[in-house]
Amino acid sequence: MDLVIVTGMSGAGKSRAMQALEDIGFYCVDNMPPKLIPTFVQLCMESNDEKDRVALVADIRLGEEFTSLFNILKELDKTKIHCKILFIDADNEVIMRRYQETRRKHPLADEFDTPSLAEAIAKEREILLPARQMADYIVDTSNVMSSQFKEKIAKLFLNNISSTLKIHSMSFGFKYGLPKDADLVFDVRCLPNPFYVPELKSHTGLETEVRNFVMKYSQSKELEKKLYDLIDFLIPLYMTEGKSQLTIAVGCTGGKHRSVVFAELLNKHLLENGCDVGVFHRDIKR
């Protein structure tokens, strides 16, 4: 049985994550008290409905019960259940804006003498820090559109979640901010930019003419070789460490040309080497 515990910051997108998981076949339950999880899992395993992929939300709404989640997960580790933690995060400013737009009340808002959304968010982040540190997967939704977020969650869990290491190659634009869920970040702004070629400006790195332009330069070919050497050296080390997810981000100025080319090339290289991979272009449609 595969079990995903979905947690994270309020307003970061846990509900949308659950919808995406449900769409790919997970049986989803929202805000289950941790002490009920072992019993619920056992019932699912004994069920005739073949509930072999289950996702549960456990977050700050549980109050003091939330801290018991960690002990429950340690108990589950002793079984044959593959349990992974998915942490959904976002910048504080983004979360504040979302609450202001929806006019909803933060779960911790009543804990302060004066209503302060900023204090509530800071307190929640402090409480959830151990869960973030334990997480197998961290997804930051600050700069991700709704359709992209759903696609990202689906790609993350379409394969068996017990796989040793899932590697994501991501392209992004530095002008839109660094991806906070990236483990490794590479900057390819040093390479010739197709943006300044009139016939290539409106195209993307997914197209042959842009890829050919970027890769015709000797410095691009040399960077590609050195990037492969470094990644091939690091992957076994991450696997030995027991890491479940590795996100490799490649950035250029706008996230449409050079970074896309290199993210695609890296994904192809890893696929050819038998890795469990996925590619994601965060800013290609901006």
Predicted local confidence at residue 28, as pLDDT: 93
What is the average pLDDT score of the chain? 89
Beta-sheet pairing, 245-252 with 184-187? parallel
- Tens digits of per-residue pLDDT, 193-221? 999 999 999 999 999 999 999 999 999 99
CB 197 within 8 A of CB 203: no
Neighbours of 137 (CB within 10 A): 21
H/E element, 236 = helix 218-241
Q: Please tell me which residue, 248 or 52, carries the higher pLDDT value.
A: 248
Where residue 24 falls among pLDDT bands split at 50, 70, 90? confident
Q: How far apart are CA 76 and CA 208, in angstroms?
A: 48
- Tens digits of per-residue pLDDT, 60-115? 988 888 888 888 888 777 776 778 899 999 999 999 999 988 878 888 887 766 56
> Which strands form 245-252's sheet, in the order they lie side by side?
184-187, 245-252, 166-173, 276-281
Where residue 54 falls among pLDDT bands split at 50, 70, 90? very high
Query: Rounded to two decimals, what is the model's pTM?
Result: 0.67
Beta-sheet pairing, 166-173 with 53-57? unpaired
Q: Please tell me which residue, 166 or 121, carries the higher pLDDT value.
A: 121
Q: Please tell me which residue, 160 or 88, carries the higher pLDDT value.
A: 88
Predicted local confidence at residue 114, as pLDDT: 59
Predicted local confidence at residue 76, as pLDDT: 79
- Taking Cα atoms as reference points, which of 169, 188, 167, 190 lies closest to residue 249? 169
Predicted local confidence at residue 160, as pLDDT: 55
